[in-house]
Amino acid sequence: MPSPAGITELRKSTHAIPDATVARLPIYHRVLTSLLESGVESVSSHELAEVCGVNSAKLRKDLSHLGSYGTRGVGYRVEYLLFQIAREIGYAQDWPVVIVGVGNLGNALAGYAGSADRGFRIVGLIDSDADLVGQTIAGVEVRDLVELETVIAEHSASIGVIATPASAAQAVCDRLVASGVTSILNFAPSVLTVPQGVDVRKVDLGTELQILAFHQQQRAEGLRTGKTSKRTSPSPALENIS
Amino acid sequence: MPSPAGITELRKSTHAIPDATVARLPIYHRVLTSLLESGVESVSSHELAEVCGVNSAKLRKDLSHLGSYGTRGVGYRVEYLLFQIAREIGYAQDWPVVIVGVGNLGNALAGYAGSADRGFRIVGLIDSDADLVGQTIAGVEVRDLVELETVIAEHSASIGVIATPASAAQAVCDRLVASGVTSILNFAPSVLTVPQGVDVRKVDLGTELQILAFHQQQRAEGLRTGKTSKRTSPSPALENIS
DNA sequence: GAACGCTTGTGAACGATCGCACAAAGTCTG
DNA sequence: CAGACTTTGTGCGATCGTTCACAAGCGTTC
């Protein structure tokens, strides 16, 4: 996907679900939840794929990695499939998450992951700004940076989010790892170095914009040379006509 | 008489750059900028790859798609390479960007893309909240949602960012597209449907967290079944262990 | 200027992912 | 209960991306 790629060491311990599939499961989950709320009881791979913006064969193959939860000639029972996906991605686990850096971005994240019960619980908001420390955001009190290790230990958090300026990212990362965090979501525009066994995913707003700008530029050049581009809905990338 | 070889030749001049490479160019650009500021004049693919967190062969192949800008036996001249990458990704173009939805996320984006000259210029901040309209954020005045089309037309913006709640995303998207926007960065957790020719990239904070949670769960299961990930050796090489 | 060491650029093998197309397996109808 | 119809699950080839390994090229040294 597009997309950002996480370094994943160690896998295959269970039944090896491809990374590309894992990246799509949350989308299926969200759409299925929406369908369930709409009272839909059964759905075919074509219908579901349409709404999720993917190929129906891809969707079926993705689901087949979890098991055979469909019924031939009928489709998938929404509630059952939803349950199976939720179980697979650890939806019900309520993972404790610590967010470091409570600027606008950290704030947005706190509200996002904290409000809807998405399987996460914000157990720590941490910032070095004395004006922020002590405030309560999304029901959680902001703690000082020096308490980072304490907060993590208190809740046995294993997932950390870095929403600090780039200059602080590596230092924060090191402290997270030293405290036992093994999964990190990094929003700072910097490359993090971590020991083996730690999973880092990077989301870079600037990079995303620049990728769009690149495609936009290609399109402009394409117009100049008389090329047209066609593309349907989701998924990035431009067209390459032979 | 047009031969297939001729077509291949033509393709090279425009975009023969793989998506995966495009996604990494902004990272190279950022690291090179940093190196330039540090006074580094020349860098080898190994050094640069190390800092960027990628394989050196991959980096060389990525750069080779832009042209032969290195010197064998020496490496790459930082300033020259930086210029070439900047040109390729349209860094100097100062793309006009419109952001719809000025919540925490929109705010963060405005500050991010607006401050550092990353090749973008925020020309419009749009929200439907009357309390926000009229405020100035990152040097730009927030305009009402009804003015969306006007703002886009004013600046001929072709890149739009959706940072609204999911419920509003598709409607906003439709209006952006109708106004001529052909590149959209979507932060709302919803699948957008767009006509052909429009490029959509999706950044979903919840999905990213859930992917991390999945890996975390896999790790936990691995531990429970007694399977530990060996290979703790920090040295390179030593890949094939049976 | 020839020999040597270093680094780029790239052909080729490999691996992951995608999408087609179809058999398998179910429902429905008469 | 047989045959028509529907939809899943998947084998297989095509495509895309990564990594290896090495020839080609550059600078330096003797």
Pick the CATH number of B94-205 from 3.90.550.10, 3.30.230.70, 3.40.50.11900, 3.40.50.720: 3.40.50.720
Side-chain half-sphere exposure of A213, counting CA atoms within 13 A: 26
- CA-to-CA separations, B238 to A77, A194, B227, B231, B235, in angstroms, rounded: 47, 19, 20, 9, 8
Give B-chain residues touching A119 at CB under 8 angstroms: 210, 213
Which SS3 state, helix, strand or coil, does residue A143 take? strand
- Asked if B164 and B188 touch (Cβ cutoff 8 Å), the reply is yes
Q: What is the pLDDT of residue A213?
A: 94
What is the rounded distance in angstroms from the CA atom of residue B130 to the CA atom of residue B143? Answer: 9
Give B-chain residues touching A213 at CB under 8 angstroms: 89-90, 93, 95, 119-120, 159, 183
Q: Exposed e or buried b for every residue in B113-126, given b needs 16+ CB within 10 A?
A: bbeeebbbbbbbbb
What is the rounded distance in angstroms from the CA atom of residue B207 to the CA atom of residue A206? Answer: 19
Whether pTM > 0.95 for this model: the answer is no
> Mind listing the pLDDT tens digit for each residue in A83-94?
999 999 988 888
Residues of chain A with CATH 1.10.10.10: 19-88
Q: Where residue B242 falls among pLDDT bands split at 50, 70, 90?
A: very low
> Mind listing the pLDDT tens digit for each residue in B153-190?
999 999 999 999 999 999 999 999 999 999 999 999 99
Mean pLDDT over each residue of chain B, to the nearest integer: 86
Closest residue to C17 measured CA to C1′: A20
**Min Cα–Cα distance to chain A from B120, Å:** 8
Give A-chain residues touching B97 at CB under 8 angstroms: 209
Pick from B14-23, B103-112, B123-132 the range whose average pLDDT is largest. B123-132
Domain topology for A94-203? Rossmann fold (3.40.50)
Domain A19-88 in this protein, CATH class: mainly alpha
Burial class (CB in 10 A: 0-12, 13-18, 19+), A108: buried
> Mind listing the pLDDT tens digit for each residue in A187-224?
999 999 999 999 999 999 999 999 999 999 988 876 66
β partners of residue B162: B100, B186
Q: Where residue A35 falls among pLDDT bands split at 50, 70, 90?
A: very high
Contact residues, A window 81-140, toward B, CB-based 8 Å cutoff: 88-91, 93, 95, 97, 103-105, 107-109, 111-113, 116, 118-120
Contact residues, B window 176-205, toward A, CB-based 8 Å cutoff: 182-185, 189, 191-194, 196-205
Mean pLDDT over each residue of chain A, to the nearest integer: 87
- Asked if A205 and B114 touch (Cβ cutoff 8 Å), the reply is no
Q: Where residue A116 falls among pLDDT bands split at 50, 70, 90?
A: low
Q: Residue A239 above 80 pLDDT?
A: no
Q: What is the pLDDT of residue B68?
A: 94
Q: State the DSSP H helix or E strand holding residue B122, giving kind and residue range, or none if neither.
A: strand B120-127
Residues of chain A with CATH 3.40.50.720: 94-203
Nearest nt to the CA of B63 via C1' is C9
Residues of chain B with CATH 1.10.10.10: 4-88
Q: What is the pLDDT of residue A15?
A: 65
Contact residues, A window 40-69, toward B, CB-based 8 Å cutoff: 51-53
Pick the CATH number of B4-88 from 1.10.10.10, 3.30.70.2190, 3.30.420.40, 3.40.50.970: 1.10.10.10
> Mind listing the pLDDT tens digit for each residue in B144-153?
999 999 999 9
> Mind listing the pLDDT tens digit for each residue in B216-233?
999 887 666 654 443 333
**Min Cα–Cα distance to chain B from A146, Å:** 25
Q: What is the pLDDT of residue A104?
A: 93
Q: Residue A3 above 50 pLDDT?
A: no
Give B-chain residues touching A9 at CB under 8 angstroms: 229, 231
Asked if B131 CB < 7 A from strand D, the reply is no
Which DSSP string corresponds to B139-169?
A: TEEEEEGGGHHHHHHHHT--EEEE-S-HHHH
**Min Cα–Cα distance to chain A from B127, Å:** 16
Q: What is the pLDDT of residue A231?
A: 42
Pick from A9, A11, A12, A13 the residue to mutate for testing the B interface (most B CBs within 10 Å). A13
What is the rounded distance in angstroms from the CA atom of residue B135 to the CA atom of residue A182? Answer: 41
Pick from B12, B185, B186, B210 the residue to mutate for testing the A interface (most A CBs within 10 Å). B210
Pairwise CB contact (< 8 Å): A182 & B216: yes
Alpha helices in chain B (DSSP H): 4-13, 19-37, 45-52, 56-64, 78-88, 104-115, 148-155, 166-178, 205-224
Which SS3 state, helix, strand or coil, does residue B134 take? coil
Of the candidates B19, B69, B9, B20, the one whose C-alpha atom is nearest the C-alpha of residue B42 is: B69
Q: Where residue B114 falls among pLDDT bands split at 50, 70, 90?
A: low
Residues of chain B with CATH 3.40.50.720: 94-205
Closest residue to D8 measured CA to C1′: A72
Q: What is the pLDDT of residue A215?
A: 94
List the single residue in B116, B201, B211 with the smallest CB-CB distance to A211: B201
Report the pLDDT averaged over residues B137-145: 95
Strand C positions within 7 A of protein Cβ atoms: 5-11, 16-21, 24-27
The residue assigned the tokens 């190994």 is B46
